[in-house]
A and B are shown apart, each in its own frame.
Chain A
Amino acid sequence: MKCTRRSFLKLAGAGVLTLTLGQLGINIDDAMAYAGKLKIEGAKEVVTICPFCSVCCQVIAYVRDGKLVSTEGDPDHPVNEGALCAKGAALFTMYTSDHRLAKPLYRAPHSDKWEEKDWDWTLNQIARRVKDARDKDMILKNEAGQTVNRLESIFMMGTSHASNEECAVIHQAMRSLGVVHMDHQARV
Protein backbone atom coordinates (compact mmCIF):
# COMPACT_ATOMS: atom_id res chain seq x y z
CA MET A 1 0.00 0.00 0.00
CA LYS A 2 1.36 3.40 -0.95
CA CYS A 3 1.64 5.67 2.08
CA THR A 4 1.96 9.41 1.89
CA ARG A 5 2.02 12.04 4.63
CA ARG A 6 -1.38 13.27 3.54
CA SER A 7 -2.97 9.81 3.67
CA PHE A 8 -1.71 9.38 7.22
CA LEU A 9 -3.33 12.60 8.28
CA LYS A 10 -6.73 11.59 6.94
CA LEU A 11 -7.78 9.07 9.55
CA ALA A 12 -5.12 8.17 12.04
CA GLY A 13 -4.00 11.77 12.20
CA ALA A 14 -6.78 14.22 11.64
CA GLY A 15 -9.39 11.94 13.21
CA VAL A 16 -12.12 13.35 11.04
CA LEU A 17 -14.42 10.61 12.26
CA THR A 18 -15.13 11.75 15.79
CA LEU A 19 -18.01 11.51 18.23
CA THR A 20 -18.67 14.35 20.64
CA LEU A 21 -19.24 14.15 24.38
CA GLY A 22 -22.88 15.05 23.74
CA GLN A 23 -23.31 12.08 21.40
CA LEU A 24 -21.81 9.88 24.11
CA GLY A 25 -24.49 11.07 26.53
CA ILE A 26 -22.23 13.27 28.66
CA ASN A 27 -23.63 16.61 29.82
CA ILE A 28 -20.96 19.31 29.60
CA ASP A 29 -23.09 22.40 30.35
CA ASP A 30 -21.41 23.02 33.73
CA ALA A 31 -17.93 22.51 32.28
CA MET A 32 -18.75 24.93 29.45
CA ALA A 33 -19.95 27.56 31.93
CA TYR A 34 -16.77 27.04 33.98
CA ALA A 35 -14.53 27.40 30.92
CA GLY A 36 -16.36 30.59 29.95
CA LYS A 37 -15.40 32.22 33.25
CA LEU A 38 -11.70 31.35 33.13
CA LYS A 39 -9.31 34.30 32.96
CA ILE A 40 -7.04 33.49 30.04
CA GLU A 41 -3.83 35.24 28.98
CA GLY A 42 -1.76 34.75 25.86
CA ALA A 43 1.86 35.29 24.85
CA LYS A 44 3.99 34.96 21.78
CA GLU A 45 7.14 32.80 21.87
CA VAL A 46 10.01 34.73 20.31
CA VAL A 47 13.47 33.21 19.91
CA THR A 48 16.38 35.54 20.58
CA ILE A 49 20.04 35.45 21.66
CA CYS A 50 21.29 36.14 25.16
CA PRO A 51 23.16 39.47 25.00
CA PHE A 52 25.67 38.78 27.76
CA CYS A 53 28.56 36.95 26.11
CA SER A 54 29.94 35.42 22.96
CA VAL A 55 28.65 31.89 23.72
CA CYS A 56 25.39 33.02 22.06
CA CYS A 57 22.95 30.95 24.12
CA GLN A 58 19.51 31.05 22.59
CA VAL A 59 16.58 32.28 24.65
CA ILE A 60 12.81 31.98 24.25
CA ALA A 61 11.20 35.27 25.16
CA TYR A 62 7.49 35.41 25.97
CA VAL A 63 6.00 38.63 24.63
CA ARG A 64 2.50 39.92 25.39
CA ASP A 65 1.14 43.05 23.74
CA GLY A 66 4.64 44.01 22.71
CA LYS A 67 6.04 43.67 26.24
CA LEU A 68 8.43 41.04 27.55
CA VAL A 69 6.75 38.89 30.23
CA SER A 70 9.34 36.14 30.82
CA THR A 71 12.41 34.40 29.37
CA GLU A 72 13.85 30.88 29.40
CA GLY A 73 16.68 28.99 27.69
CA ASP A 74 15.81 27.50 24.30
CA PRO A 75 15.95 23.68 24.62
CA ASP A 76 16.24 23.28 20.84
CA HIS A 77 19.43 25.30 20.54
CA PRO A 78 22.50 23.01 20.39
CA VAL A 79 24.72 25.47 22.28
CA ASN A 80 22.79 25.68 25.55
CA GLU A 81 20.00 23.06 25.23
CA GLY A 82 17.73 25.13 27.45
CA ALA A 83 20.32 25.92 30.14
CA LEU A 84 21.48 29.43 31.03
CA CYS A 85 24.20 30.79 33.30
CA ALA A 86 23.29 33.00 36.26
CA LYS A 87 23.40 36.15 34.13
CA GLY A 88 21.36 34.64 31.31
CA ALA A 89 18.83 33.23 33.77
CA ALA A 90 18.40 36.74 35.18
CA LEU A 91 17.91 38.23 31.72
CA PHE A 92 14.30 39.15 32.41
CA THR A 93 15.31 41.36 35.33
CA MET A 94 17.58 43.34 33.03
CA TYR A 95 14.36 44.47 31.37
CA THR A 96 12.24 44.94 34.48
CA SER A 97 14.66 45.85 37.30
CA ASP A 98 14.04 49.13 39.10
CA HIS A 99 17.83 49.49 39.43
CA ARG A 100 18.30 49.68 35.68
CA LEU A 101 19.49 53.17 34.66
CA ALA A 102 17.25 54.73 32.06
CA LYS A 103 18.97 58.17 31.99
CA PRO A 104 22.59 59.34 32.39
CA LEU A 105 23.58 60.17 35.98
CA TYR A 106 26.55 62.39 36.84
CA ARG A 107 28.39 62.74 40.12
CA ALA A 108 30.72 65.75 40.18
CA PRO A 109 34.18 65.47 41.78
CA HIS A 110 33.93 65.52 45.63
CA SER A 111 30.11 65.43 45.47
CA ASP A 112 28.01 62.74 47.18
CA LYS A 113 24.99 63.24 44.95
CA TRP A 114 24.03 61.92 41.54
CA GLU A 115 22.51 64.42 39.13
CA GLU A 116 20.33 63.53 36.16
CA LYS A 117 21.84 64.80 32.88
CA ASP A 118 20.65 64.74 29.30
CA TRP A 119 22.45 62.78 26.58
CA ASP A 120 23.87 65.86 24.78
CA TRP A 121 25.60 67.05 27.93
CA THR A 122 26.85 63.53 28.73
CA LEU A 123 28.25 62.79 25.29
CA ASN A 124 29.95 66.18 25.18
CA GLN A 125 31.54 65.46 28.58
CA ILE A 126 32.82 62.08 27.43
CA ALA A 127 34.25 63.57 24.23
CA ARG A 128 35.84 66.42 26.17
CA ARG A 129 37.50 64.06 28.68
CA VAL A 130 38.71 61.63 26.05
CA LYS A 131 40.24 64.52 24.12
CA ASP A 132 41.86 65.98 27.26
CA ALA A 133 43.25 62.61 28.34
CA ARG A 134 44.62 61.91 24.88
CA ASP A 135 46.17 65.36 24.55
CA LYS A 136 47.81 64.96 27.97
CA ASP A 137 48.95 61.32 27.86
CA MET A 138 49.53 60.42 24.21
CA ILE A 139 52.87 58.63 23.80
CA LEU A 140 54.29 59.23 20.34
CA LYS A 141 57.66 57.43 20.72
CA ASN A 142 59.06 54.85 23.12
CA GLU A 143 62.39 55.00 24.92
CA ALA A 144 64.16 53.57 21.90
CA GLY A 145 62.79 56.40 19.79
CA GLN A 146 60.46 54.19 17.84
CA THR A 147 57.02 55.59 16.87
CA VAL A 148 54.28 53.92 18.95
CA ASN A 149 51.40 56.49 19.06
CA ARG A 150 49.75 54.89 22.04
CA LEU A 151 47.45 56.05 24.81
CA GLU A 152 47.71 54.06 28.05
CA SER A 153 45.50 56.14 30.35
CA ILE A 154 42.20 55.09 28.72
CA PHE A 155 40.82 51.58 29.03
CA MET A 156 38.00 50.26 26.85
CA MET A 157 35.63 47.65 28.29
CA GLY A 158 33.54 46.01 25.55
CA THR A 159 29.98 44.81 26.02
CA SER A 160 28.01 41.80 24.89
CA HIS A 161 25.14 44.15 24.20
CA ALA A 162 27.02 45.33 21.13
CA SER A 163 26.67 43.43 17.87
CA ASN A 164 29.67 42.21 15.86
CA GLU A 165 29.40 45.26 13.62
CA GLU A 166 29.17 47.66 16.54
CA CYS A 167 32.18 45.97 18.16
CA ALA A 168 34.18 46.40 14.94
CA VAL A 169 33.39 50.12 14.84
CA ILE A 170 34.17 50.58 18.55
CA HIS A 171 37.46 48.71 18.11
CA GLN A 172 38.51 50.89 15.17
CA ALA A 173 37.53 54.05 17.07
CA MET A 174 39.69 53.05 20.04
CA ARG A 175 42.63 52.12 17.79
CA SER A 176 42.37 55.46 16.01
CA LEU A 177 42.72 57.20 19.40
CA GLY A 178 45.78 55.08 20.23
CA VAL A 179 44.03 53.08 22.98
CA VAL A 180 45.85 49.79 23.55
CA HIS A 181 44.13 48.48 26.70
CA MET A 182 40.88 46.77 25.68
CA ASP A 183 38.96 43.86 27.06
CA HIS A 184 35.47 42.46 27.03
CA GLN A 185 32.87 42.13 29.76
CA ALA A 186 32.24 38.47 28.83
CA ARG A 187 35.89 37.56 29.48
CA VAL A 188 36.45 39.16 32.86
Chain B
Amino acid sequence: MGETCLTVSETLADIAARRPVLKPVLEAFRPLLETRAALRAEVEEAVAAAVTLPAFSAERAAQGVPLMAGLSLRGLAAPLRTAAERVLPLLCALEAPARYKDALEALFVKEGTASEQVVEALIAGNEPDFRRLAEEADIQPEVLAFALDFIAASVLRALALQAQPAEGEAPWNGAAVWTQGYCPVCGSLPVIATLDKRVFDEKNAFLAGGGGKKRLHCGLCATSWAFRRSTCPSCGKQGNEVMEILRESEGANGERLDWCVHCKTYCPTVDLREREAVPDMDAMALGMLHLDMVASRKDLQPLRPSFWNMF
Protein backbone atom coordinates (compact mmCIF):
# COMPACT_ATOMS: atom_id res chain seq x y z
CA MET B 1 0.00 0.00 0.00
CA GLY B 2 1.43 3.38 -1.00
CA GLU B 3 1.96 6.05 1.63
CA THR B 4 -0.26 9.14 1.78
CA CYS B 5 1.57 12.33 0.82
CA LEU B 6 0.18 15.68 1.86
CA THR B 7 0.19 18.73 -0.40
CA VAL B 8 1.62 22.10 0.62
CA SER B 9 -1.75 23.44 1.74
CA GLU B 10 -2.66 20.22 3.58
CA THR B 11 0.68 20.25 5.40
CA LEU B 12 0.34 23.91 6.36
CA ALA B 13 -3.25 23.36 7.50
CA ASP B 14 -2.14 20.46 9.67
CA ILE B 15 0.63 22.53 11.26
CA ALA B 16 -1.69 25.52 11.82
CA ALA B 17 -4.27 23.25 13.46
CA ARG B 18 -1.68 22.01 15.96
CA ARG B 19 0.10 25.36 16.41
CA PRO B 20 -2.33 28.20 15.65
CA VAL B 21 0.26 30.77 16.68
CA LEU B 22 2.27 29.96 13.52
CA LYS B 23 -0.70 30.48 11.19
CA PRO B 24 0.09 34.11 10.19
CA VAL B 25 3.61 33.10 9.11
CA LEU B 26 2.42 29.99 7.28
CA GLU B 27 -0.36 31.87 5.50
CA ALA B 28 2.06 34.57 4.36
CA PHE B 29 4.10 32.03 2.42
CA ARG B 30 1.39 29.56 1.40
CA PRO B 31 0.79 31.09 -2.07
CA LEU B 32 4.52 31.10 -2.83
CA LEU B 33 5.04 27.50 -1.68
CA GLU B 34 1.96 26.31 -3.60
CA THR B 35 3.02 28.10 -6.75
CA ARG B 36 6.54 26.70 -6.59
CA ALA B 37 5.18 23.19 -6.12
CA ALA B 38 2.85 23.57 -9.11
CA LEU B 39 5.45 25.20 -11.37
CA ARG B 40 7.72 22.18 -11.47
CA ALA B 41 5.32 20.23 -13.66
CA GLU B 42 4.39 23.32 -15.68
CA VAL B 43 7.96 24.12 -16.79
CA GLU B 44 9.25 20.53 -16.98
CA GLU B 45 8.84 20.28 -20.76
CA ALA B 46 10.47 23.62 -21.51
CA VAL B 47 13.36 22.82 -19.17
CA ALA B 48 13.92 19.41 -20.77
CA ALA B 49 14.00 21.03 -24.21
CA ALA B 50 16.66 23.52 -23.07
CA VAL B 51 19.04 21.65 -20.77
CA THR B 52 19.92 17.99 -20.25
CA LEU B 53 21.44 16.80 -16.99
CA PRO B 54 24.53 14.60 -17.43
CA ALA B 55 24.06 10.91 -16.63
CA PHE B 56 24.79 10.01 -13.03
CA SER B 57 28.36 8.87 -12.60
CA ALA B 58 29.33 6.89 -9.49
CA GLU B 59 32.94 8.00 -10.00
CA ARG B 60 32.04 11.70 -9.96
CA ALA B 61 29.72 11.12 -7.02
CA ALA B 62 32.48 9.39 -5.07
CA GLN B 63 34.51 12.59 -5.48
CA GLY B 64 31.61 14.63 -4.09
CA VAL B 65 30.76 16.42 -7.34
CA PRO B 66 27.03 17.11 -7.79
CA LEU B 67 25.33 16.54 -11.15
CA MET B 68 24.81 20.23 -11.89
CA ALA B 69 28.44 21.17 -11.21
CA GLY B 70 29.84 23.02 -14.21
CA LEU B 71 26.60 22.57 -16.17
CA SER B 72 25.69 25.36 -18.60
CA LEU B 73 22.18 26.61 -17.94
CA ARG B 74 21.91 28.52 -21.22
CA GLY B 75 18.41 28.08 -22.57
CA LEU B 76 16.68 28.28 -19.19
CA ALA B 77 15.69 31.94 -19.65
CA ALA B 78 12.28 30.98 -21.04
CA PRO B 79 11.20 28.67 -18.18
CA LEU B 80 12.71 31.17 -15.71
CA ARG B 81 10.48 33.82 -17.30
CA THR B 82 7.43 31.57 -16.97
CA ALA B 83 8.23 30.97 -13.31
CA ALA B 84 8.92 34.66 -12.65
CA GLU B 85 5.61 35.73 -14.19
CA ARG B 86 3.80 33.52 -11.69
CA VAL B 87 6.02 34.10 -8.67
CA LEU B 88 6.88 37.82 -8.80
CA PRO B 89 3.37 39.17 -8.07
CA LEU B 90 3.30 36.99 -4.93
CA LEU B 91 6.90 37.77 -4.01
CA CYS B 92 6.39 41.50 -4.31
CA ALA B 93 3.54 41.38 -1.84
CA LEU B 94 6.28 41.02 0.78
CA GLU B 95 8.10 44.05 2.17
CA ALA B 96 11.73 43.73 1.05
CA PRO B 97 11.15 42.33 -2.48
CA ALA B 98 8.41 44.90 -3.14
CA ARG B 99 11.08 47.62 -3.25
CA TYR B 100 12.81 45.82 -6.14
CA LYS B 101 9.72 44.91 -8.17
CA ASP B 102 10.79 46.68 -11.37
CA ALA B 103 14.37 45.45 -11.19
CA LEU B 104 13.25 41.84 -10.57
CA GLU B 105 10.88 42.03 -13.53
CA ALA B 106 13.62 43.48 -15.71
CA LEU B 107 15.98 40.66 -14.76
CA PHE B 108 13.64 37.72 -15.10
CA VAL B 109 10.82 38.74 -17.43
CA LYS B 110 12.63 40.80 -20.11
CA GLU B 111 14.43 39.08 -23.00
CA GLY B 112 18.06 38.26 -22.25
CA THR B 113 20.35 35.79 -20.55
CA ALA B 114 21.13 37.67 -17.34
CA SER B 115 18.75 35.43 -15.38
CA GLU B 116 20.62 32.33 -16.59
CA GLN B 117 23.94 33.82 -15.47
CA VAL B 118 22.51 34.55 -12.02
CA VAL B 119 21.31 30.96 -11.60
CA GLU B 120 24.67 29.65 -12.84
CA ALA B 121 26.46 31.80 -10.25
CA LEU B 122 24.09 30.47 -7.56
CA ILE B 123 24.67 26.83 -8.54
CA ALA B 124 28.44 27.30 -8.86
CA GLY B 125 28.63 29.00 -5.47
CA ASN B 126 30.36 31.94 -7.13
CA GLU B 127 29.60 34.69 -4.64
CA PRO B 128 31.63 37.51 -6.31
CA ASP B 129 29.84 36.88 -9.62
CA PHE B 130 26.51 36.66 -7.85
CA ARG B 131 27.04 39.97 -6.05
CA ARG B 132 28.25 41.63 -9.29
CA LEU B 133 25.21 40.40 -11.21
CA ALA B 134 22.89 41.56 -8.41
CA GLU B 135 24.56 44.97 -8.46
CA GLU B 136 24.23 45.20 -12.25
CA ALA B 137 20.55 44.35 -11.93
CA ASP B 138 20.22 46.95 -9.17
CA ILE B 139 18.86 44.38 -6.68
CA GLN B 140 20.02 43.79 -3.09
CA PRO B 141 21.85 40.42 -3.17
CA GLU B 142 19.77 39.06 -0.25
CA VAL B 143 16.55 39.94 -2.10
CA LEU B 144 17.83 38.32 -5.29
CA ALA B 145 18.77 35.14 -3.38
CA PHE B 146 15.28 35.09 -1.83
CA ALA B 147 13.66 35.50 -5.26
CA LEU B 148 15.78 32.66 -6.62
CA ASP B 149 14.56 30.42 -3.80
CA PHE B 150 11.21 30.43 -5.61
CA ILE B 151 11.91 31.34 -9.25
CA ALA B 152 15.13 29.39 -9.87
CA ALA B 153 14.04 26.60 -7.54
CA SER B 154 10.90 25.96 -9.63
CA VAL B 155 13.05 25.50 -12.74
CA LEU B 156 15.86 23.56 -11.04
CA ARG B 157 13.30 21.16 -9.55
CA ALA B 158 12.05 20.42 -13.05
CA LEU B 159 15.65 19.91 -14.17
CA ALA B 160 16.39 17.62 -11.22
CA LEU B 161 13.47 15.39 -12.23
CA GLN B 162 15.64 14.19 -15.14
CA ALA B 163 17.94 12.46 -12.65
CA GLN B 164 15.13 10.64 -10.82
CA PRO B 165 14.50 7.02 -11.84
CA ALA B 166 10.97 6.07 -12.91
CA GLU B 167 10.80 3.76 -9.91
CA GLY B 168 13.00 2.50 -7.10
CA GLU B 169 15.88 4.19 -5.31
CA ALA B 170 17.78 7.05 -6.94
CA PRO B 171 21.32 6.10 -8.08
CA TRP B 172 22.98 8.29 -5.42
CA ASN B 173 21.32 6.23 -2.69
CA GLY B 174 23.34 3.10 -3.48
CA ALA B 175 25.70 1.82 -0.80
CA ALA B 176 28.36 4.48 -0.10
CA VAL B 177 27.83 6.17 -3.50
CA TRP B 178 27.02 9.63 -2.17
CA THR B 179 28.23 10.30 1.36
CA GLN B 180 28.10 14.11 1.36
CA GLY B 181 25.81 16.32 3.42
CA TYR B 182 25.00 18.48 0.38
CA CYS B 183 22.69 17.68 -2.52
CA PRO B 184 23.97 15.16 -5.09
CA VAL B 185 22.11 17.03 -7.84
CA CYS B 186 22.53 20.78 -7.23
CA GLY B 187 25.01 20.97 -4.33
CA SER B 188 22.79 22.84 -1.87
CA LEU B 189 22.74 22.04 1.80
CA PRO B 190 19.49 20.47 3.03
CA VAL B 191 16.70 22.42 4.74
CA ILE B 192 15.13 19.43 6.47
CA ALA B 193 15.59 15.68 7.02
CA THR B 194 13.22 12.77 7.45
CA LEU B 195 13.47 9.39 9.12
CA ASP B 196 11.80 6.71 6.97
CA LYS B 197 8.59 4.98 8.00
CA ARG B 198 8.72 1.39 9.22
CA VAL B 199 8.92 -1.30 6.56
CA PHE B 200 6.97 -4.52 6.95
CA ASP B 201 8.89 -7.42 5.44
CA GLU B 202 6.63 -10.40 4.75
CA LYS B 203 9.60 -12.75 4.51
CA ASN B 204 10.76 -11.72 7.98
CA ALA B 205 7.44 -10.99 9.63
CA PHE B 206 8.86 -11.69 13.11
CA LEU B 207 11.19 -8.71 12.86
CA ALA B 208 10.10 -5.47 14.48
CA GLY B 209 10.87 -1.93 13.49
CA GLY B 210 12.89 -1.20 10.42
CA GLY B 211 12.69 2.23 8.86
CA GLY B 212 14.37 5.17 10.56
CA LYS B 213 16.74 5.72 7.64
CA LYS B 214 17.68 9.38 7.43
CA ARG B 215 17.09 11.29 4.20
CA LEU B 216 18.15 14.87 3.69
CA HIS B 217 15.93 17.14 1.59
CA CYS B 218 17.29 19.85 -0.67
CA GLY B 219 15.36 23.12 -0.46
CA LEU B 220 16.52 24.26 -3.89
CA CYS B 221 16.00 21.31 -6.27
CA ALA B 222 13.86 19.16 -3.91
CA THR B 223 16.09 16.09 -4.21
CA SER B 224 16.29 13.71 -1.25
CA TRP B 225 19.27 11.53 -0.46
CA ALA B 226 20.13 8.96 2.19
CA PHE B 227 22.58 9.95 4.90
CA ARG B 228 24.09 8.22 7.92
CA ARG B 229 22.39 8.94 11.26
CA SER B 230 25.64 9.10 13.22
CA THR B 231 27.30 11.65 10.92
CA CYS B 232 27.01 15.44 10.91
CA PRO B 233 25.96 16.64 7.42
CA SER B 234 27.71 19.94 8.03
CA CYS B 235 31.20 19.10 9.33
CA GLY B 236 31.25 15.40 8.37
CA LYS B 237 32.21 14.20 11.88
CA GLN B 238 31.06 10.66 12.58
CA GLY B 239 30.75 8.67 15.77
CA ASN B 240 28.97 8.19 19.05
CA GLU B 241 29.66 11.59 20.56
CA VAL B 242 28.59 13.61 17.51
CA MET B 243 24.82 13.89 17.02
CA GLU B 244 22.25 14.87 19.62
CA ILE B 245 18.55 15.61 19.30
CA LEU B 246 16.21 18.24 20.72
CA ARG B 247 12.45 17.77 20.77
CA GLU B 248 9.37 18.82 22.65
CA SER B 249 8.74 16.77 25.78
CA GLU B 250 5.12 16.16 24.75
CA GLY B 251 3.30 16.25 21.43
CA ALA B 252 6.43 16.44 19.30
CA ASN B 253 4.66 14.55 16.49
CA GLY B 254 8.00 13.35 15.16
CA GLU B 255 9.47 16.86 14.94
CA ARG B 256 12.98 17.25 16.29
CA LEU B 257 16.30 18.96 15.69
CA ASP B 258 19.40 16.86 15.02
CA TRP B 259 22.45 18.87 15.99
CA CYS B 260 26.18 18.31 16.00
CA VAL B 261 28.02 18.83 19.29
CA HIS B 262 31.21 19.66 17.39
CA CYS B 263 30.14 22.36 14.91
CA LYS B 264 26.86 23.37 16.67
CA THR B 265 24.93 23.08 13.43
CA TYR B 266 21.43 21.63 13.31
CA CYS B 267 18.97 20.27 10.78
CA PRO B 268 15.22 19.99 11.50
CA THR B 269 14.13 16.37 11.19
CA VAL B 270 10.72 14.72 10.91
CA ASP B 271 10.42 11.14 12.14
CA LEU B 272 7.82 9.74 9.73
CA ARG B 273 7.33 6.73 12.02
CA GLU B 274 5.40 9.07 14.30
CA ARG B 275 3.13 10.36 11.52
CA GLU B 276 0.26 8.94 9.51
CA ALA B 277 0.93 10.83 6.26
CA VAL B 278 4.11 12.19 4.68
CA PRO B 279 4.08 16.00 4.82
CA ASP B 280 5.32 18.31 2.07
CA MET B 281 8.95 18.85 3.05
CA ASP B 282 9.22 22.53 2.07
CA ALA B 283 6.06 23.41 3.99
CA MET B 284 7.27 21.30 6.91
CA ALA B 285 10.65 23.10 7.04
CA LEU B 286 8.81 26.42 7.36
CA GLY B 287 6.35 24.94 9.83
CA MET B 288 9.11 23.92 12.22
CA LEU B 289 10.28 27.50 12.78
CA HIS B 290 9.31 27.27 16.46
CA LEU B 291 12.15 24.74 16.83
CA ASP B 292 14.44 27.03 14.82
CA MET B 293 13.69 29.67 17.46
CA VAL B 294 14.56 27.19 20.21
CA ALA B 295 17.83 26.39 18.43
CA SER B 296 18.62 30.07 18.04
CA ARG B 297 18.26 30.52 21.82
CA LYS B 298 20.74 27.69 22.30
CA ASP B 299 23.21 29.37 19.92
CA LEU B 300 22.91 26.62 17.31
CA GLN B 301 23.29 27.49 13.61
CA PRO B 302 20.92 26.22 10.92
CA LEU B 303 22.57 23.92 8.40
CA ARG B 304 21.09 25.99 5.61
CA PRO B 305 20.25 29.54 6.70
CA SER B 306 16.87 30.51 5.24
CA PHE B 307 14.42 33.35 5.70
CA TRP B 308 12.48 31.46 8.39
CA ASN B 309 15.42 30.36 10.53
CA MET B 310 17.48 33.56 10.91
CA PHE B 311 16.45 35.79 13.82
- Using CB atoms and an 8 Å cutoff, list the residues of chain A in contact with chain B: 1, 3, 5-21, 23-28, 30-32, 34-36, 38-47, 60, 62, 72-76, 78, 81-86, 88-89
Contact present for A75 and B19 (CB under 8 Å): no
- Cβ 8 A contact of B209, one of A1, A27, A42, A82: A82
* A76 smallest CB distance to B (angstroms): 5
* A27 touching B24, Cβ below 8 Å: yes
A14 to B310, CA, bound (A): 12
- Of the listed residues A7, A11, A32, the one surrounded by the most CB atoms of chain B closer than 10 A to its CB is A11
In the complex where A1-B124, A26-B24, A82-B212 touch, is A45 in contact with B307 (Cβ < 8 A)? no
Complex: how many Å from CA A81 to CA B199? 10
Q: Given A3-B70, A18-B145, A41-B246, does the pair A75, B310 have CB atoms closer than 8 Å?
A: no
Can you sample 10 A-B contacts with CB below 8 Å? Answer: A8-B182, A12-B122, A14-B305, A16-B305, A17-B145, A21-B308, A25-B96, A39-B250, A44-B244, A89-B208
List the A side residues contacting B246 at CB < 8 Å: 40-42
B4 CB within 8 Å of chain A = no
Closest residue of chain B to A2, judged by CB? B70
Other-chain contact of A83, B25, B204, B290, B311 (Cβ < 8 Å): B204
Tell which of B19, B186, B196, B210 has the most Cβ of chain A within 10 Å: B210
Interchain CB contact (< 8 A) of B143 among A9, A19, A35 = A19
Contacting residue for B189 out of A15, A20, A39, CB 8 A: A15
* CB 8 Å contact bits of B263-300 with A (1 = contact, 0 = none): 00000000000000000000000000111011001000
A residues less than 8 Å from B206 (CB atoms): 85-86
Q: Is the CB of A75 within 8 A of B290?
A: no
Which residue from chain A places its CB closest to the CB of B180 in the assembled complex? A5
A31 in contact with B21 (CB, 8 Å): yes
> Contact residue range for chain B?
35 or more
Contact count A vs B, C-beta below 8 Å: 213
Instruction: Determine how close the nearest CB of chain B comes to the CB of A28; give it in whole angstroms.
Output: 6
Nearest first, the 7 closest Cβ-Cβ pairs linking A and B are A25-B95, A35-B293, A8-B187, A89-B208, A17-B145, A75-B213, A7-B125
Query: Which of A15, A17, A26 neighbours the largest number of chain B CB atoms within 10 Å of its CB?
Result: A15
| A30 engages B294 (CB within 8 Å) | no
Q: How far apart are the CA atoms of A8 and B185 in the complex, in Å? A: 11
User: Which of A1, A9, A11 sits near B70, CB closer than 8 Å?
Assistant: A1
Q: Is the beta-carbon distance between A13 and B145 smaller than 8 angstroms?
A: no
Assess whether B247 is interfacial by the CB under 8 Å rule.
Answer: yes
Beyond A5-B64, A81-B210, list 15 extra A-B contacts (CB 8 Å).
A5-B182, A8-B188, A11-B125, A13-B187, A15-B145, A16-B305, A17-B145, A20-B307, A31-B22, A31-B293, A32-B311, A43-B244, A72-B212, A74-B229, A82-B196
A67–B19 Cα gap in the complex (Å)?
31
- The answer to the question of B89 belonging to the interface, with a C-beta cut-off of 8 Å to chain A, is no
Would you list which residues of chain B between 118 and 151 have a CB under 8 Å from chain A?
Answer: 121-127, 130, 141-146
Among residues of A, the one whose C-beta sits closest to the C-beta of B188 is: A12
- Chain B residues near A (Cβ < 8 Å): 19, 21-22, 24-25, 28, 64-66, 69-70, 94-97, 121-127, 130, 141-146, 175, 180, 182, 186-189, 195-196, 199, 201, 204, 206-214, 220, 228-230, 240-241, 243-250, 289-291, 293-294, 297, 304-308, 310-311
Within the complex, what minimum Cβ distance (angstroms) separates B297 from chain A?
A: 7
Minimal Cβ-Cβ distance residue in A for B302: A15
Q: Which of B70, B186, B249 contacts A41 (CB 8 A)?
A: B249
User: Bound state CA distance, A15 and B145, in angstroms?
Assistant: 8
Q: Is the CB of A15 within 8 A of B305?
A: yes
What is the minimal beta-carbon distance from A20 to any residue of chain B, in angstroms?
A: 5
> In the bound complex, do residue A12 and residue B187 qualify as a contact, i.e. CB atoms below 8 Å apart?
yes
User: Nearest chain A CB to B136's CB is how many angstroms away?
Assistant: 16
| Complex contact A75–B25 (CB within 8 A) | no
Inter-chain CA distance A134–B18, complex, in Å, is 69
- Rounded to whole angstroms, the CA-CA distance of A7 and B122 in the bound complex is 10
Q: Determine how close the nearest CB of chain A comes to the CB of B169; give it in whole angstroms.
A: 13
Q: Which residues of A contact B186 (CB under 8 A)?
A: 12
Query: When the two chains form their complex, are residues A8 and B24 in contact, meaning their CB atoms are under 8 A apart?
Result: no
Contact yes or no, B21 A83, CB < 8 A: no
Chain B positions within 8 Å of A17 at CB level: 130, 141-142, 144-145
Q: Known contacts A5-B64, A20-B311, A60-B229; decide if A15 and B208 are in contact (CB<8 Å).
A: no
How far apart sit A101 and B124, CA to CA, in the bound complex (Å)?
61
User: B241 and A44: CB pair below 8 A?
Assistant: yes
Nearest CB of chain A from residue B291's CB, rounded to whole Å: 8
Query: How close is A148's CB to chain B, nearest CB, in angstroms?
Result: 41
What's the nearest-Cβ distance from chain B to residue A60, in Å?
A: 7
